Amino acid sequence: MLEGNRVSRISVRGFAVASATAVTAVGSVVGVASGSTAQDNDLELTASDATLLADIPAGQQAQVQTASLTQQADVQAIAADNSARKAAEEAARKKAADDAVNKQKAAEKAEAAAQAEKERKEKEEAASRSAARADASDFVVQSSYTVAQVQAMAQQMIPGDQFTCFSNIVNHESSWNYRAVNASSGAYGLVQALPGSKMASAGADWQTNPATQIKWGLNYMNERYGSPCGAWSFWQANNWY
């Protein structure tokens, strides 16, 4: 029988022969005799090895079995940890990818909403510009007009949200005098068209009919600046339009 101090390292690879209840492969058995050179290679469990193992005291057999099972449990725990770590990394990568996709979708949705809002405002502005309540032809032609009458015409022809801007320009350009002439440039009328004959596109009576001048001025501001308020913004920055 081997003494306890003569067994320095034992590894079990199939411990079923050592114990009726230990039926799982758990390692290989290596014995190192006292005073002899240690063997580096593990030995396959054979019938003679089983006999040698049987010669080990029962207490030492229990220790060997416990150590081998502990080693196996450690290996399994490490494998489980690695598996859990890989699963966590994969879940993190998937979440990052999902977050990126969701962020992109949110950005595209916000951009689409902004574009829709812009188009809605543009349509409203276009509708407002075209929603003049009266045309130049709707007014009875007179031989002369007071400032109040000219302003009343403009209020009926200019969209409500644009009238103040239109009025500001006319105030600066002609003080609502539909016969105003710029002595230096020859600009004419309420909106000081240069030359005044441009207003003939709105009516042949452009020299005497303030409604014709208002019609032409509104069309000019819409086409060149988008609206009377656009023209007024430009005028404020440049003192002309």
Here the tokens at position 227 are 């609206």
Give the predicted TM-score (pTM) of the model: 0.49
* Dist CA 157 CA 213 (whole Å): 11
pLDDT digits (tens, 9 = 90+) for 145-195: 999 999 999 999 999 999 999 999 999 999 999 999 999 999 999 999 999
Cβ(229)–Cβ(162) below 8 Å: yes
CB proximity list for 227: less than 8 A, separation 6 or greater: 125, 128, 129, 162, 165, 221
Over residues 113-147, the pLDDT tens digits come to 888 888 777 766 666 555 546 888 889 999 999 99
Question: Quick one: pLDDT at residue 30?
Answer: 40
Q: Which fold has domain 134-238?
A: Lysozyme (1.10.530)
236: confidence class by pLDDT, cuts 50, 70, 90:
very high
Helices (H), 131-238: 147-157, 163-173, 210-225, 228-238
Of the chain, the end-to-end C-alpha distance in Å amounts to 117
pLDDT value of position 176 = 98
Delimit the domains of the chain by residue range: 4-74, 134-238
Predicted pLDDT at 33 = 40
Residue 21 predicted with pLDDT over 50: no
Q: Let me know the angle formed at the C-alpha of 176 by 175 and 181, rounded to the nearest 5 degrees.
A: 75
